[in-house]
Chain A
């Protein structure tokens, strides 16, 4: 079975959960056999090697065909990088900010250097234009390659998936890692919503990363429940050779928030809980690791709460720094308001850090050895933090059992579930063909 997959980001440039999930799933699929993936990713070229790039389509889109090798399984897949400024997670507004910045900031890695990039030249700051052009490229790729099924990850690639379906007539599976309702916190952008809805309507099957997301798809997008399945994410085993570079410089315990500082992640609830804990005990510090549009507001709020000396803002952390941060932490809190899945708690559990997560996260459907609270219930959150820091047995138990639990969440299992869905979709396709075409 050959799968044409429109995904996001491959190592070494992974900036967040979506790329990690795509990579993990692709790797998992390559390990279970019978599935070949041709992976297509948008990529804004900055400092990379351009030698392998070929141009494609009416827009002179640079295309780079590469091979990715998975060391452990001794397998590799082909993947195609398509020159594009699409980056995951951004909404229209945020995208505008980013692209405006690009004009003034020449060091921004998103900047396109050599003008080959046709649509960057006549750049009109319109994300939707970019998405449309990406779908044109997808059409060309779909025409020139053979495959049995199409798999598209999140709304930015839905038009590409649909285009590929139209030209090839192959079934389309879309994978929803987040919806506009999660990203926007209620202020839904109708254009984004429409693209999502169109993708869901056109899809032969929809994969949601949690029941939480599945319910949103059914209720808010009006999709037939039979068409939506939940496949939970997993987590890549820890690279054992990775060593901590930084040492914890303080003797106090550290409670960490790790993620984008945006409304979706509920950073303000973390601060409120922190201030309650600090009123009652010494010997603890709080860290807010990440960046985002609410960061300044949070710094201000910390000052208002008079806890600025005990709360530290690190800014955006890269891969190794994330590992270091986790190693220094005694407790990780993820107070997300709306989190379709949430991979960070799993990474923390791998690093032996007990976690407190909100019920409003998909990951809370998967793990048992974690403390769970409603994101708005800051007293309960504070109580959970205090309990973990002050009563050693619960901290030890959650740390040990949590590690064991997360080590058994394998991408191979998720990939098997995805393969089941492929087979179901293909069988249905087969059944629906007119009799004369079956043979």
Chain B
């Protein structure tokens, strides 16, 4: 008679995550419905102040900006990552190519941001080069605007998109493309109607793993963006550490969490349909495996 030890095995992790992950989130939910205490805590009293505070024009502007910056950065990332993943999958030397993609991302996350400052800054590489060529005498301002934020975000999240796309494309049966060609499809038709539907899993993972962390970006807009490229993450951090308005920080966090939740549910629903899909078909495996890459949602 085999005994069921499952609950015993899983208990330590469940307790840990309940205590240090679920409980803090529940506290955030609770705080978002409370009144602000001037000394940085909360007054335990039901109130919708924090949610009403979101509806102020400044915050709505930031929320809207966060949404479109995330959308554009994600779109650019995917458009670059698709051919790139395809190229790796069809290459004879996958290991080397994967290695090349991953190496830059084993470099510290902040160092990579710093490197972009060293390139784009007033005293940076590009301005230096332009001055040396005599094209300009003053420094051109590349940093601290929307463009630099999007550029660095794309840089940061490119491998998150490339890896799952590579791994699904790699499992794709390329003879199907040949067959499509044989049956009269053009190259583009074959790619669009045969390849794309078959790598949907990887595509969804790629979008999810770029859009969500970018949506919660904090460090990138802080370091390479200006005041007018602040994103929700920056507002939340400021509310927590500077203004110390915890209910507002909580309600904003709730907003971001709900966004993430919707995306995650869509992801789960998609994964369930044609029977149960193996986890690696969504391309999740390589993301985890390669993550000497930056962690989850760093930006």
A binds B: no
